[in-house]
Structure 1
Amino acid sequence: MRIHTALLSSIALGFTAFSAQAFEIKGTSGTALEATEIATFNEPWAMVMGQSGNALITEKSGQLFHLSKDGVKTEITGVPEVFYGGQGGLGDVIFAGDTEDEIYLSYVEQDADNVGAVVIKAKLESAENGKLQLADIARIWEQDKQGRQGHYSHKLAIGPDNKLYITSGDRQMQKPAQDMSVNLGKVIRLNLDGSVPSDNPFQSDGEIAKTFWTMGHRNLLGIAFGADGKLWTHEMGPRHGDEFNLIEKGENYGWPLVSNGDNYSGIPIPDHESEPKFNAPEAFWVPTIAPSGLIIYNGDQLADWNGDALIGGLASQALIHVDINGTSATENERFEWGSRVREVEQGTNGEVYVLEDGPEGRLLKLEPSG
């Protein structure tokens, strides 16, 4: 039996925290936010909230949870076996439509000695024990498998064109980002059933390349559409040089040929200004912020932020507000409270949710203070 939004839980709009202590976070420009703890998770990686307020959260080791409005976690069964190691594990989750009874889910799987990301589509159904389970699982996309255990990316977004966008990292191998025969270091664009749109830009470069929307990427851990339909991603640089990019059809973003960071060995990499044929980032960071999680804000609670980006920072231990003005982007403010920020999501009332990284990562609700 398919379970629809009204049956998933008694969630109305947003979460209510019980017996949780709120605390204030003050930004570097003086903006004050009130943070309230909702729940804790073991290595949380991604979160999605539907229009109803229903939330799903993934944990890297392979658990998928439904979270009720009072902070009660219920594990969803039927998740495929996940390869958990290095940077690999259960990844992103998004709703496949407005009804919230279907999802897209990404994770890393192992095949012999190699590993790679996979995206599936599945229905949320009631199990006999009254809990939820995944059913009717369909395989949508598979990343080229390699021996290394990093830079999977595998973040997901559905665009206003009703297409599925998938970030695919370079798997710590650099050169594949410029190789048209492998789907590494690319942004992938598919129809919702996994078939390939005929208007993708690389139609004459081979069958794999027909799935590409853009190329020349390193490790993209954030992807989001703004209300204006523009697509933004961020990616971790090598040693510094993290990028925030406006994604445009058919463009090459230059990795590993150009970067505003350097190799970990200390060998410099030419910066974007040296090769104007590559699409340069709208903003970049030296030193690194280690970006993870991204929304383009569109809500009432923080209306002055509408159209701006909110980025989670791992190494920077911050939530970073980036002002977007057309096609330009500039860091506006940082909010720091001593925790690595893994994921960012917007709530149904315009509140902001962040997931902290690590074995006891908190889900925090952020609202204007006072």
Structure 2
Amino acid sequence: MKKSLLAASVAALLLSQLGMAATQLDSEKYPIQIEKVTDGLSHPWGMAVMPDGGLLVTERSGNLRIISTSGQVSDPIKGLPAVRAYGQGGLLDVQLDPDFASNQWVYFSFSEPLNDGKESSTAVARAKLNGDSLSELEIIFRANPKLDSPYHFGSRLVFDRQGNLFITLGDRGSRRQDAQTLDTHHGKVVRISKNGDIPKDNPYINQDNALDEIWSLGHRNMQGAALHPQTGELWTHEHGPQGGDEINIARATKNYGWPVITYGEEYGGGKIGTTSQDGLEQPLYYWVPSIAPSGMMFYSGKLFDNWQGNLLVGSLKFSQLVRLELDGDKVIHEERMDIGQRVRDVEQGPDGTLYLLTDQPDGQLLKLTPAK
């Protein structure tokens, strides 16, 4: 084992043994200090940075909380809609309006129940955040059809440069073929306006057999998405089955192949389709075996200046933060840093600090800075 990998493994062991007291992790370019900001979070899933540097954090169990810069955790924010928290569903991603400082709009995705909670689908709501409560709540998107399935809800929320909202959606597990059709939202990236209207330049708005919200198709379960800081294009990653996690640039009308093409296989073995086919997009990058990616961002801060422009991805399966160096649209180097806990989301603070959410019943918010 290389010295750097050994050091990372030892650091990860220390993290788990010390209950996340501040400790140091040696990466390729920096010694990194990891501090526990707070714990006691119930499977935290998504976070958004507030204007004062605090974080708005979702718990998959159905709570939305504010965590201050000092680590103080608020009581649950009042006024959320009904959430069906089961399996992979619950309260999922959260995003602030680009004009949040003046309008207070908050957007969040969740598994919305139907028929006495027996069925659900990914929905997106917006509401105004006033202190410890939400007001003017409205559902601006509902994925159709709703199913009795606890799997593959997606979903990340990303505003584009025009102020429209991208929503990433999973195939719901039992309906994988839906990812190849244009009459359901399953396995799609969709794009709506801030109030839920359809942008006039959406690619399928004038196609009778397609849902107007659809942007791209052929996805399995996208739990990471970020806007490229130079090109403004939407980059996504998605879970493969057993292997075949993918990074893609989600472009209008493009078909990313699931389940016709994949580099993964059925759980327990067994072929799924093939690895390539004319007319279907190849992934920009993929992992075999699967790392179970979740959360993704382009780093732009000054604290880790040698990481600027790098893509940072959380790994659930291997409890890592994965750093990818890019040359244009190509991944030219990968580094894996052992965190010791399942990493659900990654976000950058105003000063360049990195924040990680860990996916567990006693979930934690971790703070990463260069060690002095």
Q: C-alpha separation between the residues in 2 aligned to 1:205 and 1:217?
A: 20
Q: TM-score, normalised by structure 2?
A: 0.89
Match of 1:119 among 99, 117, 124: 124
1:184 matched to 2:186? The reply is yes
Q: Is this contact kept in 1: 2:49–2:56, CA < 8 A?
A: yes
Q: C-alpha separation between the residues in 2 aligned to 1:300 and 1:31?
A: 13
SS in 1 for 2:122: strand
Superposed CA offset, 1:174-222 (max 9, x none): 1000111101100001111110112111234337522111100000001
| Alignment-derived partner of residue 64 in structure 2 | 64
| Alignment-derived partner of residue 235 in structure 2 | 232
| Alignment-derived partner of residue 246 in structure 1 | 249
SS in 2 for 1:315: coil
How do 1:1-370 residues align onto structure 2 when only pairs under 5 Å count? 21-27=21-27, 29=28, 31-40=30-39, 41-74=41-74, 75-100=76-101, 101-112=104-115, 113-126=118-131, 132-144=132-144, 145-172=146-173, 173-206=175-208, 209-228=211-230, 229-272=232-275, 274-370=276-372
Q: C-alpha separation between the residues in 2 aligned to 1:299 and 1:354?
A: 15
Q: C-alpha separation between the residues in 1 aligned to 2:277 and 2:96?
A: 39
Superposed CA offset, 1:246-278 (max 9, x none): 121221100000001112252213444x31421
Q: Is this contact kept in 2: 1:321–1:333, CA < 8 A?
A: yes
Q: Is this contact kept in 2: 1:261–1:271, CA < 8 A?
A: no
Structure 1, unaligned runs of 5 or more: 1-19, 127-131
Structure 2, unaligned runs of 5 or more: 1-19
Q: C-alpha separation between the residues in 1 aligned to 2:87 and 2:262?
A: 24
Q: Is this contact kept in 1: 2:259–2:273, CA < 8 A?
A: no
Q: Is this contact kept in 1: 2:236–2:249, CA < 8 A?
A: yes
Q: C-alpha separation between the residues in 2 aligned to 1:340 and 1:197?
A: 36
Q: Is this contact kept in 2: 1:214–1:249, CA < 8 A?
A: yes
- Counterpart of 1:77, as a letter, is K
- Counterpart of 1:37, as a letter, is K
SS in 2 for 1:86: coil
Q: C-alpha separation between the residues in 1 aligned to 2:47 and 2:170?
A: 20
- Number of residues of Structure 1 aligned to a counterpart in Structure 2: 344
- Counterpart of 2:305, as a letter, is A
SS in 2 for 1:209: coil
Q: C-alpha separation between the residues in 2 aligned to 1:134 and 1:257?
A: 42
SS in 1 for 2:155: strand
Q: CA deviation at 1:30?
A: 6.0
Q: Percent identity?
A: 35
SS in 2 for 1:69: coil
Q: C-alpha separation between the residues in 1 aligned to 2:352 and 2:226?
A: 16
Superposed CA offset, 1:109-133 (max 9, x none): 211131111100100114xxxxx10
CA RMSD, Structure 1 to Structure 2 (Å): 1.5
- Counterpart of 1:117, as a letter, is T
SS in 1 for 2:225: strand
Q: C-alpha separation between the residues in 1 aligned to 2:69 and 2:325?
A: 31
Q: Which moved more, 1:201-210 or 1:33-42?
A: 201-210
Q: C-alpha separation between the residues in 1 aligned to 2:255 and 2:361?
A: 37
Superposed CA offset, 1:69-95 (max 9, x none): 211111211111210111111111110
Q: Is this contact kept in 2: 1:342–1:355, CA < 8 A?
A: yes
| Alignment-derived partner of residue 12 in structure 1 | none
- Counterpart of 1:203, as a letter, is I
